[in-house]
Amino acid sequence: MVIEEEHSWLQELPKVELHVHLEGSMSVDTVRALSDRHGADPTKVWPNGWPEAFSFDGFPDFAQQFFFGLSLLRSGQDLVTIIEDLAVTVASQNVRYAEVTTTAYTHFLDRGERSGMSQEEYRDGLNEGRRRAAEHGVELGWVIDIPRDLEIPDQTVTIDYLEGPNTPDGLVAIGLGGYEVGFPAAPYAEHFARAQAIGLHSVPHAGETEGAESVRSAIVDLGAERIGHGVRCLEDPELVKMIVDSGVMLEVCPTSNLLLGVVEEMEAHALPALQEAGVRTCLNTDDPGWFATDLVTELGIASDVLGIDRTGHLAMQQGAVAASFASQELKTSLLAELATHPI
Ligand SMILES: [Zn+2]
């Protein structure tokens, strides 16, 4: 564990988070409350009753539990509930700005016991949640991602929605999420080109469950400005050089990588080697509810296990602010605050 003094310094450091999934932010308590709200049956996923904390055996097992949680998001009000829960949690850690990924496609889809949400209800839920987040002191930007293992490239549900009249306030980017293996990025090039043509930034996941080729394709085919994870780029030194030269930032999520088996032990995490190679990196929680983590915990792991000192943390926050799609006004104010933050 991080010593107490270090923990309070990390806690007080003004922070931004660029890689956190709204639908992955639900804690056991929130999933349970939503399950009760809708009279759902959790025993098909957890036959022995509610767990103390979620645990997983690899990505497919994680996905099964994740989709149960997702099936409980049936109305705009459910979205407001989880956005406000997330906002309260991140605000308590002095996170000032968060870019939150949400998967519109899964809410529009008819799925078993629930019918799909309308675009208007989804938009209104996000707008109301974002308004409440601001009251808690956190500005939210939205990333809406294509779930590569659900929305095949021939479908255009997400990109059609993004081009339409019902997008939420604060929408900044398009993402590409889901299980990489067997679902390459290149077939989504047209979707990303359309999104970029309407001013959205490109922040796909890559190099998590697949290797270097997936990261290269995210940059070459999708015009990635930041990459979710990307930690497996180290398998290819030429690619590492391309990432450094292009200034693409990797959104690193240590606990997520450990729990989903991307790394076997935290000591072997790629973060120190990425920084040594000159790759821009920032720290994130990915799915904080499901992984029972928060941003201060992730920063603490980086301090404790991965050799990041206070100067390194400060530099990572400054880099994350610069690589964010927050308003210039907010960026300037956060950078000014970080510049005078005591080390
Ligand atoms: Zn992610």
Q: Say how many Å lie between the CA of residue 279 and the centre of ligand 1.
A: 19
Q: Quick one: average pLDDT of 219-241? A: 96
The H or E element containing residue 147 is: strand 139-147
Q: Quick one: average pLDDT of 80-87? A: 96
pLDDT tens digit string along 285-337?
A: 999 998 999 999 999 999 999 999 999 999 999 999 999 999 999 999 999 99
pLDDT tens digit string along 87-144?
A: 999 999 999 999 999 999 999 987 666 668 999 999 999 999 999 999 999 999 999 9
Q: Say how many Å lie between the CA of residue 274 and the centre of ligand 1.
A: 19
Q: Say how many Å lie between the CA of residue 87 and the centre of ligand 1.
A: 18
Separation in Å, CA 78 to CA 82, 293, 296, 342: 7, 22, 26, 40
Query: Who contacts 217 (Cβ-Cβ below 8 Å, separation ≥6)?
Result: 184, 185, 186, 206
Domains annotated on the chain, with CATH:
11-333 (3.20.20.140)
Q: Any idea which residues carry the catalytic annotation?
A: 208
Q: Say how many Å lie between the CA of residue 20 and the centre of ligand 1.
A: 7
What was the pLDDT predicted at 271? 98
| Residues around ligand 1, an ion, CB closer than 5 A | 228, 286
Counting every residue written for the chain, the total comes to 343
Q: Say how many Å lie between the CA of residue 62 and the centre of ligand 1.
A: 13
